[in-house]
Amino acid sequence: MYNHSDLKELVDRALKNLSYNQEASKLTDPVKYVLSLGGKRLRPVLALMTCNMFSDKIDEAVLPAVGLEIFHNFTLVHDDIMDNAAVRRSFPTVHAKWDNNQAILSGDVMAFIANDCILQTPPDKLLKIFRVYNKAAVEVCMGQQLDMDYEKAAIVTQEMYLRMIELKTAVLIAAAVKTGAIIGGAEEKDADLLHEFGRNLGLAFQVQDDILDIWGDIKAFGKSRGGDIVANKKTLPYVKAMETATGKQLKQLHDLFSGSEKDPESKIKKVTDLYDQLNLREVTETIAYDYINKAFGLLQKVTVDEKRKKEITNLAISLIGRDH
């Protein structure tokens, strides 16, 4: 069995070894840049882990897995234009370092570089794998659409929010998990169980990310706290706050998110205090834990030896831990 860091290294190496047509080098410079900035490589690592659950031979899964990472980065490049975000992973975003047009076009070509990687799937599994990937890709676009729609929406319910993050984040994680399983030779039933596992894991991961932005351990989390609050992002704590607050508290929240408090640190503190009064840490953690429990219940049903599930179990725990 490969361990987590072996797999991440495999993915990083495969990304580094991608060859690019140099004829229009301005097109691919941003692609190389964005793929060199690191990150957890969560999707390809998960794909390789599920492949390795069923097969000792994982090389056939490497390029399809890398394709998912390239697709993921394609969405980040374009989302950063749409969100007008200047920094990601502590580096300038592509449109900030180059310009919007370059970020659009270099993003576009990443979608086709991702296709190229997916096309390296063993031919007898290509159609199945490509369908899994492409369905997720369309859904991720739908998730980004809902995210944009909800920015302007007066009311976003818990249900709307959870469906949005399911599309925007969870479906691609689910697709990664399923891709690896299929290439590793899993039977349909196990592949479907793992797909569902991935979906629940992805939901738990995103909810936990919302929670950590407010109550996370700054050192372990690796980014400063309260960014979502400052950006008025409609996270799960926000959605639950709007749902449960009444009277004076609701008015305070509306005022804070309408810009009444100009000082970011003060805004973060005031919003967090209100969230605490509303007991939202527990409320939202309960939702995350519900997904986590579902995920592990599904993983348990997969018909391989428990020791082959060890790496993915550890990864899942670290992803949804309180201090990742």
> Measured in whole angstroms, how far is the alpha carbon of residue 295 from the centre of its chain?
16
Beta carbons within 8 Å of 120's beta carbon, 6+ residues apart: 63, 64, 67
Token code pair at residue 222: 């690796």
**Shortest distance, position 169 Cβ to a copy of itself, whole Å:** 15
Name the residue nearer to a copy of itself (CB basis): 71 or 215. Answer: 71
**Shortest distance, position 62 Cβ to a copy of itself, whole Å:** 18
User: Pick from 63, 85, 119, 283: which binds a copy of itself (CB under 8 A)?
Assistant: 119
Site string for a copy of itself, 76-115 (x = CB under 8 A): --x--xx-----------------xxx-xx-xxx-xxx-x
Beta carbons within 8 Å of 259's beta carbon, 6+ residues apart: none
Q: State the Cα–Cα distance between residues 60 and 51, nearest whole angstrom.
A: 9
User: Pick from 21, 90, 246, 258: which binds a copy of itself (CB under 8 A)?
Assistant: 21
Token code pair at residue 284: 């939202």
Token code pair at residue 39: 């990150």
**Shortest distance, position 210 Cβ to a copy of itself, whole Å:** 21
**Shortest distance, position 35 Cβ to a copy of itself, whole Å:** 16
For the chain, what is the radius of gyration of the CA atoms? 20
Contact by Cβ (8 Å): 115, 67: yes
Name the residue nearer to a copy of itself (CB basis): 123 or 259. Answer: 123
Q: Which of residues 165-204 bind a copy of itself (CB under 8 A)?
A: 167
The residue written with tokens 């234009």 in the block is 81
Stretch that binds a copy of itself, among 136-144, 170-178, 205-213, 245-253 (CB under 8 A): 136-144
Q: State the Cα–Cα distance between residues 75 and 110, nearest whole angstrom.
A: 9
Q: Would you tell me which residues interact with a copy of itself (CB under 8 A)? A: 21, 23-24, 26-27, 78, 81-82, 100-102, 104-105, 107-109, 111-113, 115-116, 119, 123, 126-127, 130-131, 134, 137-138, 141-146, 148-149, 167
